[in-house]
C-alpha cells in the first residue's frame, strides 16, 4: 500500500504532452490553447468614444467657450471625420472613431442641444475624457492569451476580434468508461430487489464532458472471458480506460486478473486513503492507461477527481482549480490514512469556509450531489481545528 503522494507521482509520470489539432472557433470552448493568440492590431485600433455626446477640442473650452455649433455626426462604424472649426463640435456615438481635431467627448447628459448648438453644462472638461485611447489595452503584436489557457467565452471573443476562425488546441484523450457487475441493470430497466441501476458510469461520462471529453460507455458483466475479450478491443481504440467496480478483493472482482492476463503493467493497486483504498492504476505497452475505481459512488467520484484529473491536467499543462478555505469545524480522523472529505463552500466577507458534507457511506450518492469539492486530511495528523486552512480542489 502506497501513500497518496506516491500514487500521484506514478500518475504524473504517465502524463505527457498531447497532440495538437485545429478546431473551429465555436467548438473551442473549454479546450486548452496550444498556441498563443496575438493582437493583429492595436486594442482598441483607434481612439474611440466611450459615451454618446459631442466631440470637441478641449482647448476651446479652456478658453471659455461653452456654446459649440454642431458640424456633423460621427456614427460608430463610419470613416473618421475631421473638425473643420476648432470652436465647433461633432456629435459622436459610443464606439465611434474620435474625429481629427477633437480630443474630448462630453456626454449628452452634460449638454443642452438646441437648434444644432450644444450648450455645455460643465465647469471642467479635460483632454481625452470619455475616450478609450488607441492601444490602451494592448499593442499590435502583443500576446493577448497565452498558450496553456483554458478557453472561455471571453477568449472566444478575443480570438474572433483578431480574425481567427480556428484555434490550435491540445487534442483530448479518447476515453472509455466501463461499469462492471451483474448487480447493475440499464437505467431503462426496472431493477429486481437484488439489483440496482447503472449510475457511476453516467456520473463519470458527465464529469468528462465538463472537461470537453465525449467518452463512450460500456458495461462488463462478471464473466472473466467476456471481460477479457471486450477489453482487448477497448485497448486498441482508446487512450484511457476508466473502470468503476471489480477492483477490490471480492470473489467476483475479476478486473485485476483479467487486466494482468492482457499484459497490463500494474503501477499500483492500493493507496493509504479513505475512500478509495483499492484504486488500481496501470498501463499497456501501447501507452493506454487504466484507472480502476472502487465501485461505490463516492469512491469512484473522489478517485476520478484526484487521480484521473491530475493526469489530464498535467498532460494539458494546466492547473486544477482550487480555492483556499477554512474548515467550519474541528475534523478528526484516527486511522493513519489520508482522508478525503467532501465539502461545500460558503463565502462571507471575502473568506471561504469549507463545510463537510455528511455522507453516511462511500455509497451515499444522494449527499454526494451537495459537494462542490474536497479537501484532504494528511495521514500524519489526526485532529484539525476549526479554522484550519485547506486547499479545496473544486469539482
- How does pLDDT run across 375-386, given as a tens digit for each residue? 999 999 999 999
Q: Specify whether 352 is located in the same domain as 334.
A: yes
- Which pLDDT score is estimated for 188? 83
In angstroms, rounded to a whole number, what is the distance separating the alpha carbons of residues 129 and 110?
Answer: 13
Q: Specify whether 156 is located in the same domain as 242.
A: no
Pairing of strands 280-283, 265-268: antiparallel
> At 391, which helix (H) or strand (E)?
strand 389-394
Q: Specify whether 128 is located in the same domain as 143.
A: no
Looking at residue 154, what DSSP letter applies? H
List the CATH number of the domain containing 189: 3.40.980.10
Model confidence at 62, pLDDT cuts 50, 70, 90, reads very high
For range 362-367, the mean pLDDT: 64
pTM: 0.84
Give the helix ranges, DSSP H, for 190-318: 200-210, 224-237, 255-261, 297-303, 309-316
Mean pLDDT of the chain: 94
Q: Specify whether 148 is located in the same domain as 126.
A: no
- Which pLDDT score is estimated for 364? 61
Q: Specify whether 192 is located in the same domain as 264.
A: yes
Q: Specify whether 163 is located in the same domain as 25.
A: yes
Grouping H, G, I as helix, E, B as strand and the rest as coil, residue 160 is: helix
Cell 467518452 identifies what position? 215
For residue 315, which phi and psi values (nearest 5 degrees)? Answer: -65, -35
Model confidence at 284, pLDDT cuts 50, 70, 90, reads very high
- Which pLDDT score is estimated for 303? 97
Contact assessment for residue 222 and residue 181, using Cβ atoms and an 8 Å cutoff? yes
Grid cell of 379 as nine digits: 495521514
Q: Specify whether 288 is located in the same domain as 159.
A: no
Q: Specify whether 24 is located in the same domain as 166.
A: yes
Q: Specify whether 326 is located in the same domain as 225.
A: no
List the CATH number of the domain containing 99: 2.170.190.11
Q: What is the 3-state secondary structure (H, E, C) of 169-197?
A: EECCCCEEEEEECCCEECCCCCCCCCCEE
List the CATH number of the domain containing 390: 2.40.340.10
43: Cβ–Cβ under 8 A, 6 or more apart, which residues? 135, 136, 137, 138, 139, 144, 161
Pairing of strands 280-283, 289-293: antiparallel
In angstroms, rounded to a whole number, what is the distance separating the alpha carbons of residues 308 and 280?
Answer: 11
Cell 505497452 identifies what position? 285
In 3D space, the residue among 359, 336, 353 whose CA is nearest the CA of residue 390 turns out to be: 353
Out of 132, 159, 191, pick the residue that ends a domain: 132
C-alpha angle 383-301-326 in degrees, rounded to nearest 5: 35
* Number of structural domains the chain divides into: 4
Grid cell of 343 as nine digits: 465539502
For range 199-203, the mean pLDDT: 90
- Which pLDDT score is estimated for 171? 97
Q: Specify whether 271 is located in the same domain as 207.
A: yes
Out of 276, 299, 316, pick the residue that ends a domain: 316
Whether the predicted pLDDT of 365 surpasses 70: no
Q: Specify whether 300 is located in the same domain as 238.
A: yes
User: pLDDT tens digits for 244-270?
Assistant: 987 887 666 789 999 999 999 999 999
Q: Specify whether 110 is located in the same domain as 215.
A: no
- Which pLDDT score is estimated for 361? 58
Please count the residues of the chain: 395
For range 2-21, the mean pLDDT: 97
In angstroms, rounded to a whole number, what is the distance separating the alpha carbons of residues 395 and 389?
Answer: 18
For range 292-315, the mean pLDDT: 95
For range 63-92, the mean pLDDT: 98
For range 63-81, the mean pLDDT: 97
- Which pLDDT score is estimated for 362? 52
Grouping H, G, I as helix, E, B as strand and the rest as coil, residue 305 is: helix
Sign of CA dihedral 71, 74, 79, 85: positive
> How is 32-94 classified by DSSP, letter by letter?
BBSS-EE-SS-BSSS-EESSSEEEE-HHHHHTT--EEEEEEEE-TTSPPPB-SSTT-EEEE-T
Grid cell of 199 as nine digits: 449510475
- 219-235: burial string, b at 16+ Cβ within 10 Å, e else: bbebeeeebbebbeebb
- Which pLDDT score is estimated for 368? 87
Looking at residue 275, what DSSP letter applies? S
C-alpha angle 67-73-76 in degrees, rounded to nearest 5: 130
List the CATH number of the domain containing 155: 3.90.105.10
Out of 250, 285, 316, pick the residue that ends a domain: 316
Q: Which residue segment(s) compose the domain that 344 sits in?
A: 322-394
Amino acid at each position: 500500500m502506497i501513500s497518496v503522494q506516491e500514487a500521484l507521482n506514478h500518475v504524473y509520470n504517465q502524463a505527457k504532452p498531447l497532440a495538437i489539432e485545429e478546431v473551429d472557433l465555436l467548438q473551442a470552448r473549454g479546450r486548452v490553447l496550444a498556441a498563443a493568440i496575438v493582437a493583429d492590431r492595436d486594442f482598441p485600433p483607434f481612439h474611440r468614444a466611450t459615451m454618446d455626446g459631442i466631440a470637441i477640442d478641449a482647448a476651446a473650452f479652456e478658453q471659455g467657450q461653452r456654446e459649440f455649433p454642431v458640424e456633423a455626426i460621427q456614427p460608430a462604424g463610419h470613416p473618421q471625420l475631421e473638425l473643420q472649426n476648432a470652436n465647433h463640435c461633432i456629435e459622436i456615438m459610443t464606439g465611434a472613431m474620435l474625429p481629427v481635431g477633437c480630443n474630448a467627448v462630453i456626454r449628452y447628459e452634460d449638454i443642452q442641444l438646441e437648434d444644432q448648438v450644444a450648450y455645455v453644462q460643465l465647469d471642467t472638461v479635460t483632454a481625452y475624457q470619455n475616450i478609450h485611447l488607441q492601444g490602451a489595452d494592448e499593442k499590435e503584436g502583443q500576446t493577448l492569451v497565452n498558450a496553456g489557457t483554458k478557453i472561455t467565452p471571453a477568449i472566444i471573443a478575443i480570438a474572433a476580434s483578431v480574425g481567427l476562425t480556428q484555434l490550435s488546441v491540445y487534442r483530448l484523450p479518447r476515453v472509455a468508461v466501463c461499469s462492471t457487475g451483474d448487480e447493475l441493470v440499464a437505467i431503462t430497466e426496472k431493477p429486481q430487489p437484488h439489483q440496482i441501476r447503472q449510475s457511476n458510469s453516467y456520473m463519470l461520462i458527465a464529469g468528462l464532458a465538463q472537461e470537453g471529453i465525449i467518452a463512450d460507455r460500456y458495461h462488463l458483466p462478471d464473466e472473466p472471458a467476456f471481460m477479457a475479450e471486450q477489453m482487448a478491443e477497448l485497448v486498441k481504440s482508446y487512450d484511457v480506460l476508466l473502470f468503476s467496480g471489480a477492483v477490490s478483493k471480492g470473489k467476483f472482482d475479476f478486473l485485476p486478473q483479467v487486466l494482468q492476463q492482457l499484459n497490463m503493467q500494474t503501477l499500483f493497486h492500493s493507496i493509504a486513503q479513505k475512500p478509495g483504498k483499492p484504486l488500481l492504476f496501470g498501463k499497456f505497452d501501447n501507452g493506454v492507461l487504466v484507472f480502476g475505481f472502487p465501485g461505490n459512488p463516492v469512491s469512484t467520484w473522489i478517485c476520478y477527481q484526484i487521480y484521473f484529473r491530475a493526469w489530464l491536467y498535467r498532460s494539458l499543462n494546466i492547473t486544477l482549480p482550487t480555492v483556499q478555505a477554512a474548515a467550519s469545524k474541528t475534523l478528526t480522523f484516527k486511522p493513519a490514512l489520508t482522508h478525503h472529505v467532501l465539502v461545500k463552500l460558503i463565502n462571507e466577507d471575502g473568506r471561504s469556509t469549507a463545510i463537510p458534507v455528511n455522507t453516511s457511506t462511500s455509497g451515499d450518492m444522494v449527499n454526494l450531489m451537495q459537494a462542490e469539492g474536497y479537501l484532504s486530511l494528511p495521514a500524519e495528523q489526526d485532529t484539525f481545528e476549526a479554522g484550519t486552512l485547506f486547499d479545496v480542489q473544486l469539482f
